[in-house]
Amino acid sequence: MTEKQIYEIFDQDGLLSQKLDTFEFREGQLLMALDVLNCYQKNGIGAIEAGTGIGKSFAYLVPALFYAFDDSEDRTVIATSTINLQKQLMEKDLPALFSALGKECSIAIAVGRNNYLCLRRLHEEVLANELYAYDGISEISKLNAFAATTETGLRTEYEGRLDYNLWTSVCSDGDFCMGGKCPYFTECYYFKAKKKLSEASIIICNHHLLFVDSNSRYESELPYDEEAILPPFRHLVIDEAHNVERHATDLFTNTYSSYALRRQMDYIYDNRGGKGAGSGRILDDLLPYCTEQKIYQDILDFYALVRARAETLNMAALNMLEYNNLAHLLLTKKNMGHVEGQLGQAIKDVVENGGRLVARLNSFASKLAMDEAHQFKADEFTVHITRISDVIDRLGVFMDWRNWNDDIHYLDIERHGANKYVTFNIAPLEVSEVLSEALFKKLDSVICT
């Protein structure tokens, strides 16, 4: 694409003025399109501030489209902060440009894997809840009916209330995926969507998914000419870029809370009388396969103990904050001595007893005698153990305050229903260096606007 073509498209009486009744010439839009093209041509990074009403989406879409027209594999990823902008690009802006330019290319929206229904996991839930699965009333019954009609398997297409625990029990999850060995592989919603992404020249996603992809590549040293969470791509446009720092910081923040720990524990065992899909029963399901069943009661004892200790810590931290009329507390090495005096023993109790629980869960897992057809259940059990351990480890790292680095450590209060939970957070001081090394320096061009 050339600068001359930019003028022919965006200038007064240009192609867009002729083809689109609603188009109005804006000099700022034309200049921005020239800047975007310059980044594409010179493999540059551009930070472009565009005022409201300038029509910046057209300004970056046209160069991206022309590069795609010339080479369908010269892919551009467009990352936005809001769903509304994603819908605008897919349903309004791109169709309008296809019509005006007289050409089209393949486009797709990428969403996180957990947004897709997993047919194998749903089948397991149905088998475990046959009493409810076909009653036409329960959520598992309605979700089962949804699976019979949906073409995408996306949670956003499901109408009505959907319990969080149920969805996390049936959604697609990389840690639980059997890949080509899965009996539902050819029907898999996630892999169908992934194939569509691999065929798209323009991919639209949110900031979070972009940063998850870049972090995955960074940790595995995977270049951008290979597939990771997103397909290979060379060009990136980050719209609504004023939110980049917040979204990247959120991704790299490690958090502990008693709520998060309880959720992970509930997947394995829930002794509160919960019934139906999503209830924690994995431990009981695996018990017949364990060659040393006396471990079971030991696990239950530590389950109760860790739950109690986590609740004690949460109440102590909540009382400390509310007594001082605080919703947030920034911590430093100077004030951590005082905090340790109030919370240190409670934290130690959670970390130490949590470690003992994890050790017993691992011992239970090591004594499972599974046939090949049921091995996936043992594998899923191991994944849940790892996730419990990760949550506990975050609290241990948080409390090792004498070895803190430049990260930001703080307490916060979050609500879930009527209950309050204190979160223990470790956030990076800045994300610019990791974004530069993991993303900006690895691509041919990056435009932030």
pLDDT digit string (tens) for 162-182? 888 889 989 999 999 999 999
Q: Are residues 311 and 420 in the same domain?
A: yes
Sheet holding 419-427, edge to edge: 254-256, 419-427, 408-416, 328-331
Report, as an integer, the average pLDDT of 14-20: 95
Confidence of residue 413 (pLDDT cuts 50, 70, 90): very high
Q: Are residues 292 and 369 in the same domain?
A: yes
Report, as an integer, the average pLDDT of 6-26: 94
Integer Cα distance of 420 and 422 in angstroms: 7
Q: Is residue 260 part of a domain?
A: no
Q: Are residues 65 and 122 in the same domain?
A: no
Q: Identify the pLDDT of residue 371.
A: 84
Q: Are residues 284 and 373 in the same domain?
A: yes
Q: Are 367 and 291 in contact (CB under 8 A)?
A: yes
pLDDT digit string (tens) for 352-373? 999 999 999 999 999 999 888 7
Query: What is the Cα gyration radius of the chain?
Result: 26
Q: Which amino acid is at 9?
A: I
Q: In the chain, how many H helices and how many E strands? A: 19, 10
Confidence of residue 280 (pLDDT cuts 50, 70, 90): low
Q: Is residue 143 part of a domain?
A: yes
Q: Is residue 262 part of a domain?
A: no
Strand ranges (E), 72-150: 76-80, 107-109
Q: Are residues 120 and 146 in the same domain?
A: yes
Q: Residue 349: is its pLDDT beyond 60?
A: yes
Integer Cα distance of 153 and 143 in angstroms: 10
**Domain end among 142, 165, 190:** 190
Q: Are residues 204 and 186 in the same domain?
A: no
Integer Cα distance of 224 and 235 in angstroms: 10
Q: Identify the pLDDT of residue 276.
A: 46
Q: Are residues 371 and 294 in the same domain?
A: yes
Domain that holds residue 139: 113-190
**Domain end among 164, 190, 216:** 190
Q: Is residue 42 part of a domain?
A: yes
Q: Are residues 8 and 138 in the same domain?
A: no
Could you tell me if residue 86 is left (phi over 0), alpha (psi between -120 and 50 degrees) or otherwise beta? alpha
Q: Are residues 369 and 335 in the same domain?
A: yes
- Report the mean per-residue pLDDT for the chain: 93
Total domains in the chain come to 3
For 298, the token pair is: 């030991």
**Three-state DSSP class for 423?**
strand
The overall longest dimension of the chain from CA atoms, in Å, is 82
Q: State the virtual CA torsion across 106, 54, 250, 446 in degrees, nearest 10.
A: 60
Q: Are residues 439 and 342 in the same domain?
A: no
Q: Is residue 261 part of a domain?
A: no
The answer to which of 112-126, 131-145, 398-412 has the lowest mean pLDDT is: 131-145
For 374, the token pair is: 């049921």
Site of tokens 């599974």: 370
Q: Specify the pairing of strand 419-427 against strand 254-256.
A: antiparallel
Confidence of residue 127 (pLDDT cuts 50, 70, 90): confident
For 239, the token pair is: 């719209």
Residue 92 maps to which CATH number? 3.40.50.300
Q: Are residues 285 and 397 in the same domain?
A: yes
Q: Which long-range contacts (CB under 8 A, 24 or more apart) does 144-149 make?
A: 146/117, 147/117, 147/119, 147/122
Report, as an integer, the average pLDDT of 260-279: 72
Q: Is residue 224 part of a domain?
A: yes
Report, as an integer, the average pLDDT of 138-157: 93
Q: Is residue 195 part of a domain?
A: no
pLDDT digit string (tens) for 286-298? 999 999 888 999 9
Q: Are residues 22 and 88 in the same domain?
A: yes
| CB environment 223-258: b (16+ within 10 A), e (fewer) | ebeeebbbbebbbbbbbbbebbeebbbebeebbbbb
Q: Are 154 and 189 in contact (CB under 8 A)?
A: yes
Confidence of residue 271 (pLDDT cuts 50, 70, 90): low
Q: Is residue 232 part of a domain?
A: yes
* % of residues, the chain, pLDDT over 90: 80
Q: Identify the pLDDT of residue 277.
A: 47
pTM strictly above 0.85: yes
Beta carbons within 8 Å of 37's beta carbon, 6+ residues apart: 1, 3, 6, 63
Q: Identify the pLDDT of residue 375.
A: 86
Q: State the virtual CA torsion across 379, 383, 388, 393 in degrees, nearest 10.
A: 120
Beta carbons within 8 Å of 96's beta carbon, 6+ residues apart: 20
Chain centre to alpha carbon of residue 301: 33
